[in-house]
């Protein structure tokens, strides 16, 4: 029996053509919000399906979320259907890691304030004491050692930084490049924060990670510490982050994830990303949650999706299984 797959949202061309070109010819593909009647697909590809989509096919055995992470509404829904395996795509891990490094470097070197000054023909920053930091030889603590965190840790090492990674699932921190485990549990985060010149947050948002970095944790960081968040905003307590940056307790931050998002298309030009005016702070680099996007994102998404579906078509176990109970 051929593998039957339904994509709830039809990809645009040429992404769809790229998917078909990489997909085994035997895979039967249907597309769009109007489900085939009767439905018999075995795999549903959707980030935020409704209950009726899960119930539509009696043959459904897997849901593929076509991005990293598990939306809260999807988690709540899929808890009722434990027989349906949930999987992620990790097509954009390197893209997110590269933006994390762009945020780190632009933040640590205060590129944006200097750029703004020179655009107005003001050379004053060149002749003043510089706030730019040296990263080589400093310690980076990478919270979250999934696919993105692994790439981030590797890039930090390329900058000459001592890199400590902290996994949530195994509750073990490992020091790189030696690879020897330090046997530090994530519960011992307070032990590592005073040593973290750079805190790179690559964690998913779950009940366990919500507010993980609060005022007390931020105060443990050393002087001139830099925070970069490409995970989810709610991992860091909003008010505590703003006040630490405004007061200088936290030296600088690069943020790609936020506390408020536009609720609709009409709001996209005038929605503040936070209840606090981060935009007024020169020690913050702001990015509108675009970490996973580049000119080839959709091409990579389709390639990874095709690889996963081809694996299922061969009767093999698909990668990137999500623990719905844990939320990651």
What pLDDT shows up at residue 169?
Answer: 52
Separation CA 303–CA 46 (nearest Å)? 16
pLDDT in tens, 39-95: 999 999 999 999 999 999 999 999 999 999 999 999 999 999 999 999 999 999 999
What pLDDT shows up at residue 185?
Answer: 60
- The parts of the chain modelled with pLDDT lower than 50 are 170-172, 174-183
What pLDDT shows up at residue 177?
Answer: 45
181-184: strand order across its sheet: 181-184, 173-176, 162-166, 139-143, 198-201, 226-229, 252-255, 284-286
Residues found in the chain? 328
116: tokens are 């703004």
29: tokens are 């593909």
Ordered structural domains, the chain, with CATH: 4-91+296-313 (3.40.50.720), 93-286 (3.40.50.720)
């Amino acid at each position: 029996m051929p593998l039957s797959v339904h994509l709830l949202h039809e990809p645009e061309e040429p992404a769809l053509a790229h998917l078909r070109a990489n997909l085994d010819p035997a895979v039967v593909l249907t597309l769009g919000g109007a489900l085939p009647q009767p439905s018999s697909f075995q795999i549903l590809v959707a980030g935020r399906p409704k209950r009726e989509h899960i119930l539509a096919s009696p043959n459904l055995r897997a849901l593929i979320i076509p991005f990293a992470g598990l939306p809260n509404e999807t988690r709540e829904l899929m808890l009722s259907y434990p027989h349906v395996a949930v999987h992620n795509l990790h097509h954009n891990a390197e893209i997110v890691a590269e933006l994390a490094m762009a945020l780190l470097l632009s933040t640590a070197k205060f590129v944006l304030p200097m750029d703004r000054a020179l655009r107005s023909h003001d050379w004053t920053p060149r002749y003043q004491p510089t706030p730019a930091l040296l990263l080589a030889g400093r310690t980076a603590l990478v919270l979250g050692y999934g696919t993105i965190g692994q790439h981030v840790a590797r890039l930090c090492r390329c900058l000459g930084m001592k890199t400590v990674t902290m996994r949530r699932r195994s509750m073990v921190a490992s020091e790189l490049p030696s690879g020897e485990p330090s046997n530090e549990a994530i519960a011992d985060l307070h032990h590592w924060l005073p040593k973290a010149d750079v805190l790179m947050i690559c964690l998913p948002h779950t009940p366990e990670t919500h507010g993980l970095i609060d005022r007390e944790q931020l105060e443990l960081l050393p002087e001139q510490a830099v925070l970069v968040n490409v995970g989810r905003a709610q991992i860091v307590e909003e008010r505590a982050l703003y006040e630490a940056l405004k007061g200088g307790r936290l030296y600088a931050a690069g943020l790609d994830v936020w506390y408020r998002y536009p609720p609709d298309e009409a709001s996209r030009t005038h929605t503040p990303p936070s209840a606090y005016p981060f935009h007024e702070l020169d020690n913050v680099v702001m990015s509108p949650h675009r970490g996973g996007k580049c000119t080839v994102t959709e091409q990579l998404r389709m390639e990874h999706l095709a690889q996963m579906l081809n694996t299922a078509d061969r009767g093999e176990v698909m990668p990137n299984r999500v623990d719905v109970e844990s939320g990651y």
